Structure 1
Amino acid sequence: MTLAAPTTDPDDTVISRSYALTTVGMVALVFFAAFEALAVTTVMPQVARELDGVHLYAISFAAPLATGIVGMVVCGIWSDRRGPVPPLYASVVLFAFGLLVCGLAPTMEILVVGRLVQGLGAGALTVGLYVVVGQVYPARLQPSIFAGFAAAWVLPSLFGPSIAAFIAAQWGWEWVFLSVVGLVAVATTFVVPSLLGLRGRPEPTGARVPVGQLGWAAVAAVAVLSLDLLGSRPGLGLLFAAAAGAVVLVSVRHLVPPRTLSAARGLPSVVLTRGALGASFFCAEAYLPFVLQDHWGLSTGRAGLALAAAGICWASASQVQARLGARLTDERAMLVGTALLMAGAALSLLATGALLHPVVLMLGYALAAVGMGTAFPRTSVAMLRHSTERDRGFNSSALSIADSLGAALALALCGVTYAAVSRTDLSGVLGDPFAAVFTISVAWALVAHLASRRTPVS
C-alpha cells in the first residue's frame, strides 16, 4: 500500500498556510546544521589548543563525514520500511545529543566521540528531510523547497564565522555547540504537525534491504576516514590512501543505483551528476582563500569576501531556477548548471595559472556558484521524480552519499596533488600546486556535465 499524494490548492506556495510551518521548520533545520558546520570550523583551533588535542584536529573534521555515510544509509532503509517519521525524529535526537557531548566534552577524545554521533545524526537528517519533501510537497513546489535548502546551506557563510567567533569570545567555545541544541529543538516543533499527518497514513512496505548494505556503508565510512588522514602523507601514506580510495569506489557501488559509476541513463546519471558537482565546487572552495592569500597577498577578511559573494550567487541562482519551475526542466537545469560550473572552474584555473587580477578568479568562482545554484537543487527534484514509495529513502540516501563521497574523494585527491606538486622543482603553471588543484576542479566539472547529458531517460 502506498501513500496518497497530498491534495493542494494549485495557487499554493511553500509559504502558503498549508506549508508555512513545515517550510520554516525544515529550512531552519538545514540552516542550523550548516551554521554549526561553519561555526565549528571557526572555533576548532581554539578547542584543540584548550583541550590539548591538536593531534586529533584532522579527525575531528573527518569523523562526522565518515559516520554521516552510515546515517544516510540507515535513514534510507528505515524510511523505505517504516516511513520517514521515526528516522527523522531519531536523526534530530542524535544530532542534538552529539552537539551536547561536544559542548560538555572535558577532553578532545570525548569531543571526537560527540562529533561521531553528531555526524551520524546529520547524515540521517539530510535523507529524512528529502523523504519528507517527497511526501508533503507536490512536484511543482519541490524546486522551491530545495532552493530554500540551498539558501539555508549557503547563507550562513556570510555571518556564521563571525557569530561563532563572538560567541566563543563572550561565553566560551562550548556555547557554539550548546546554543544550537535549543535552536534545533525549536525548529523541529515547527515540522511536527506535518509529521503527525504522515504518521496517520499507511506506511510503505519497502522490500527487505540486505544487511550487507549497512556493512558496505561502514566500510565506506572507515575508508573515507583513512583517506582524509593519509591523503597528504608521502611514501607509504600515499599507497594506503590510494588503497582507501579504491575501497571507497568499491563500496559506493553498493550504496547507489546500479550502473551509477558508468553513467547509465536516468537516475544513475542524476546521482553521478550530484556527486561530481560537489566534487568540483568544494575542492575549489577549500583552496580559494588559500590561493588569494598566497598568490595575491589578500588578507583573510578580503579573501573571505569571495566566499560570501559566491554564497549570494548560489542562493540567487537557486531562487531563479525555482521561479522558473516547469519552464526549466530538471534535465535542462542540470545541463546548464554544469556548463556554468565548468566555465567558472576553467576561468579560475586561467586566473591562477596566468596570475591574472584576483577579481578574475573571484568572478570564475562566482560563475561556478551560479552553476551550482542552478543544477544542485534540480538533482534532488529529479531524484524524487524517479523514485517511488518503495525506494524513495534509498534514492535519497544515494544522492546524499554521492554528494559526501564526491567531495571527500576530490578533497583527498587535491591534498595529494597539492603536496606532490609542492615538492617538485618545476616552474610556471606546471609547478603551481594551486593550478593543479583547479585543474582537478575542471575535470570534475566535465564529469558532471557529461553525466547531466544522460539524465533524460531517453
Structure 2
Amino acid sequence: MSTTPSSPAREETIFSGPYITTTVGAFAMIVLVAFESMAVTTVMPEVARVLDGQALYATAFAAPFASGVVGMVIAGMWSDRRGPGAPLVTAFVVFSIGLAICALSNSMEVLVAGRILQGLGGGASTVVLYVLVGLIYPARLQPPVFALFAAAWVLPALFGPYLAALIADAFSWRWVFGGTVFVVAAAVAMLIPVVRRTEMEPVADPEPATGRLAWAVVAAVAVLGVELLADQPVLAVAAAAVTIGTLSQLLPGGSLLLRRGLPAVIATRGLLAASFFTAEAYIVYVLQEKWGMTAAAAGIALTCVGIVWALGSQAQARTKNVSDSAAMTIGSLVVLGGLTCIAVAVWLEPPSWVAIAMYVLAGAGMGYGYPRTGVAMLAASNDSDRGFNSSALSIADSLGAALGLSLAGLLFAASESGTDPFGVVYTFAAVVSVLTVLAATRTKVAATA
C-alpha cells in the first residue's frame, strides 16, 4: 500500500490571509505620510510665493514636527488604555482635516494651522501602527513588517518629488495636499475591520502621563514661537530657551549636556535631525532662487537623497564589525562634510551640481549613522525603561528638527536685508553638525541585559 506524501504547510508571511489587509493598509498609510513630507518640500517655495508667506516658510516645516510630539504622547496614552481602534481613526481624521485645510488655505497662517493638524495626526498614526504590529503579528513576523515600513519611507523619495511637481504644474499645488485625502480614506477603511477584531488586556491602573503630555504641549508651543516671535528677538530667544528646558523633562537626564552613553545617543539623534532636516527644507528653495532650477529639476536632489539614504542604511546593517558608536560618528562626520560644503557652495555659487552632490553626500551620512541611534538606544535599555527611551528618541528627533527649523527661519528673516539668508541658514546647519559629531563621539554604551 502506497501513500501520497502530504505537502508541507506553507509558512505564513506578512502577506498571508490573516495579515494582508493590515500589511497593505499600514504600508499605504506610511507611504502617504512620507509622500506628504517629500511633496511639501518640493512645492513649498511656490506655496510661500503664492501666499506671500516667506516669513513663515520654516514654520510650515517645523509645525508638523512640533505637533507630532503631542500626537505621539496622546496616541501612546490612549492606545494603552483603550486599544488602537479609536486612536487610529482619530489620527487619520485629524491628518485628513489638516490636509484639507492646507489645500483650501488662502494665507500662510492658515496653511501652518493645517500643518499643525497634519503633524498631530501623523505623529499619532505612527505610534498606533506600531501598537498594531505588536498586537497583530507574531514575533517572528515583526522584523519583516518593520523592514516594509522602512521601504515605505524610501519609496516616496523615488517618485514623490517629481509627482508633486507634476501635479503642481498640471493642476495646482493645492492638489498635492487635497488629492491625498481620498487615498487616506481608502487606507483607513482597510484597517478599521482589523482594529475592531483586535483585543487588548485591560489596563487596571494605567500610569498617569498627564505631566509628560503637558511638557510635550509646552515644547510644541514654544518651538513654534521661536520663529513666530521673530520681530521680538528677546521673546524669540526666551521661546527657544523654554523649548530646550522642556527637553530636560522629556529626555533622559544628561542628554542636553551630551553625557556619555544613552544621553549622548539621544542627543545625537536630535542634532542629526536638526542639522539635516533644516538643510532639506531649504534645498529646493535655494536651488530655485540661486540657480534658477524648476521645482521638478530641484526635486531630483530629494530623490537622490532617498536612494543614498537607503544604500547607507544597508551598508551600516552589513558592517557588523563597526560599533554603534563608530557608525554614528562616521555618519555624523559625513553629514558635517556635506553640509559644510553646501554652505560654501551657497556663498560662492559654483555650478548647481556641486550643491546637489554635497546634499546627497549628507544624505548618505544620515543613512549610515541615523539607524544606529535606535540600535544603540535599545542596547542601553531594559524592560523597565525601553518604552521611555524609545519615546525619548522619537521626541528628540521631532523636537530637534522643529527647533532647528525654527532657529533657521529666525536667522533667515534676520539676514534678508543684510546678507545672503540661504548662506546663513546652511552655515547654521553646518555648525549644528559640529555639535552632532561631538555628541556621537560620546555614545559608546554598555549593553544591558
Q: Given residue 207 of structure 2, which amino acid in structure 1 is its aligned partner?
A: R
State the Cα RMSD in Å.
Answer: 4.4
Q: Which moved more, 1:341-350 or 1:41-50?
A: 41-50
Structure 1 Cα separation of the partners of residues 416 and 52 of structure 2: 30
The CA deviation string for residues 307-349 of structure 1, in whole angstroms up to 9 with x for no partner, is 2211211123334555x49777755654443343334334445
Structure 2 Cα separation of the partners of residues 60 and 438 of structure 1: 18
Q: Given residue 275 of structure 2, which amino acid in structure 1 is its aligned partner?
A: S
Is the Cα–Cα contact under 8 Å of residues 345 and 441 in structure 1 kept in the other structure?
Answer: no
Is the Cα–Cα contact under 8 Å of residues 343 and 426 in structure 2 kept in the other structure?
Answer: yes
Deviation of the 1:374 alpha carbon: 2.7
Q: Given residue 361 of structure 2, which amino acid in structure 1 is its aligned partner?
A: L
Whether 1:221 and 2:220 are equivalent positions in the alignment is yes
Is the Cα–Cα contact under 8 Å of residues 269 and 373 in structure 2 kept in the other structure?
Answer: yes
Is the Cα–Cα contact under 8 Å of residues 22 and 190 in structure 1 kept in the other structure?
Answer: yes
Aligned to 1:439: 430
* Residues 72 and 360 of structure 1, relative CA distance in 2, 3 Å threshold: same
Whether 1:310 and 2:305 are equivalent positions in the alignment is yes
Aligned to 1:279: 274
Aligned to 1:99: 99
Please list, as runs of the form range in 1=range in 2, the aligned pairs for 1:10-49 lying within 5 A after superposition: 21-40=21-40
Whether 1:450 and 2:426 are equivalent positions in the alignment is no
Q: Which moved more, 1:147-156 or 1:40-49?
A: 40-49
Structure 2 Cα separation of the partners of residues 386 and 86 of structure 1: 33
Q: Which secondary structure does the structure 1 equivalent of 2:29 belong to? A: helix
Structure 2 Cα separation of the partners of residues 405 and 141 of structure 1: 31
Q: Which secondary structure does the structure 2 equivalent of 1:209 belong to? A: coil
Deviation of the 1:361 alpha carbon: 3.9
* Residues 319 and 86 of structure 1, relative CA distance in 2, 3 Å threshold: farther
For normalisation by structure 2, the TM-score amounts to 0.77
Is the Cα–Cα contact under 8 Å of residues 127 and 400 in structure 1 kept in the other structure?
Answer: no
Structure 1 Cα separation of the partners of residues 46 and 423 of structure 2: 31
Structure 2 Cα separation of the partners of residues 111 and 422 of structure 1: 23
Q: Report percent identity of matched pairs.
A: 47
Aligned to 1:208: 207
Structure 2 Cα separation of the partners of residues 327 and 21 of structure 1: 38
Whether 1:261 and 2:285 are equivalent positions in the alignment is no
Structure 2 Cα separation of the partners of residues 82 and 29 of structure 1: 22
Deviation of the 1:32 alpha carbon: 0.4
Please list, as runs of the form range in 1=range in 2, the aligned pairs for 1:175-194 lying within 5 A after superposition: 175-191=175-191
Aligned to 1:68: 68
Is the Cα–Cα contact under 8 Å of residues 77 and 209 in structure 2 kept in the other structure?
Answer: no
Structure 2 Cα separation of the partners of residues 52 and 358 of structure 1: 26
* Residues 116 and 425 of structure 1, relative CA distance in 2, 3 Å threshold: closer
Aligned to 2:6: none
* Residues 14 and 327 of structure 1, relative CA distance in 2, 3 Å threshold: farther
Whether 1:338 and 2:329 are equivalent positions in the alignment is no
* Residues 336 and 194 of structure 1, relative CA distance in 2, 3 Å threshold: farther
Deviation of the 1:249 alpha carbon: 0.6
* Residues 104 and 135 of structure 1, relative CA distance in 2, 3 Å threshold: same
Is the Cα–Cα contact under 8 Å of residues 104 and 174 in structure 1 kept in the other structure?
Answer: yes
Aligned to 2:153: 153
Please list, as runs of the form range in 1=range in 2, the aligned pairs for 1:405-420 lying within 5 A after superposition: 405-418=399-412
Q: Given residue 446 of structure 1, which amino acid in structure 2 is its aligned partner?
A: V
Aligned to 1:126: 126
Aligned to 1:372: 366
* Residues 369 and 52 of structure 1, relative CA distance in 2, 3 Å threshold: closer
Deviation of the 1:401 alpha carbon: 2.0
1:247 to 238, 242, 251: 242
Q: Which moved more, 1:302-311 or 1:51-60?
A: 51-60
Deviation of the 1:248 alpha carbon: 0.1
Structure 2 Cα separation of the partners of residues 138 and 325 of structure 1: 28
Aligned to 1:4: none
Aligned to 2:89: 89
Deviation of the 1:239 alpha carbon: 2.1
Is the Cα–Cα contact under 8 Å of residues 227 and 407 in structure 2 kept in the other structure?
Answer: no
Unaligned runs of 5+ in 1: 1-8
Unaligned runs of 5+ in 2: 1-8
Question: How many residues in Structure 1 have an aligned counterpart in Structure 2?
Answer: 440
Whether 1:270 and 2:265 are equivalent positions in the alignment is yes
Structure 2 Cα separation of the partners of residues 135 and 375 of structure 1: 30
Deviation of the 1:217 alpha carbon: 1.6
Q: Given residue 449 of structure 1, which amino acid in structure 2 is its aligned partner?
A: A
* Residues 109 and 443 of structure 1, relative CA distance in 2, 3 Å threshold: closer
